[in-house]
Amino acid sequence: MSQFNDPAEAAYSVQDYGSSPAIEGVELIALRRFNDDGGSMTELARLAAGQHEGVAGFEARQMNYSVLDPQAIKAFHLHRRQTDVWFVPPSDKIMLVLADVRSGSASEGVVQRLILGDGNSRLVRIPPGVAHGCRNLRPSTPGSIIYFVDVQFSVGEECDEGRLPWDHFGTELWEVERA
């Protein structure tokens, strides 16, 4: 067994490869990506009367496309009624930060970070009461999010698009972990 010098021994640690605590109701749904010599295609949804076949109990009422500038942070969105279902194209790399602020939830207070895109094709279901924000991790290219919601956007008293400050859960969670 190799011995380290004193400074290296004092700084030595083992990275935690375990999974982070899960937030109740957050769901990751793997998607099939079809590749051929000319490119690829990913099926995001099969809809029957607005019902998304891959996300049980979810009725799509609106579909949106959002673009984040390089390194941009957009946070935190919060809904009382709306469920979001997000997709980030495999060519992009977006850090999604989720925080359960539902009073009495089994996972109340849990904060979770997920990397979306980055070669993967999957959906993320974000239930009402789970604050969510994102950061484009690409240094020089925009990042894209395609998302379905089950409550149509409106302004005024019907608006379900709430906000929390970007640093509400701390600034460090937006930083790229360096190991």
User: Does a structural domain hold residue 143?
Assistant: yes
Domain of residue 83, residue span: 20-33+43-151
pLDDT for residue 51 is more than 80 = yes
User: Does a structural domain hold residue 47?
Assistant: yes
Q: Under 8 Å CB-to-CB from 143, ≥6 apart: which residues?
A: 67, 68, 70, 88, 92, 93, 94, 117, 136, 137
User: Does a structural domain hold residue 7?
Assistant: no
pLDDT value of position 137: 97
User: Does a structural domain hold residue 4?
Assistant: no
User: Does a structural domain hold residue 177?
Assistant: no
pLDDT, tens only, 98-138: 999 999 999 999 999 999 999 999 999 999 999 999 999 99
User: Does a structural domain hold residue 26?
Assistant: yes
Residues above pLDDT 90, as percent of the chain: 70
User: Does a structural domain hold residue 116?
Assistant: yes
State the average pLDDT over residues 150-166.
90
* Overall number of domains in the chain: 1
The DSSP annotation for the chain comes to: -PPPPHHHHHH------SPPPPPTT-EEEE--EEEETTEEEE----EETTEETTSTT-B--EEEEEEE-TT-EEEEEE-SS--EEEE--TTSEEEEEEEE--TT-TTTT-EEEEEEETT--EEEEE-TTEEEEEEE--SSS-EEEEEEESS----GGG---EE--TTTT-SGGGSPP--
Residue 74 tokens read as 């957009």
Q: Under 8 Å CB-to-CB from 33, ≥6 apart: which residues?
A: 40, 41, 42, 90, 121
The dihedrals phi and psi of 95, each to the nearest 5 degrees, come to -90, 120
User: Does a structural domain hold residue 157?
Assistant: no
Radius of gyration of the chain (CA): 19
Any idea what the CATH number is for the domain that residue 113 is in?
2.60.120.10
pLDDT for residue 71 is more than 90 = yes
Residue 102 tokens read as 């539902």
pLDDT for residue 18 is more than 80 = no
pLDDT for residue 179 is more than 70 = no
Instruction: Please state the pTM of the whole predicted model.
Output: 0.88
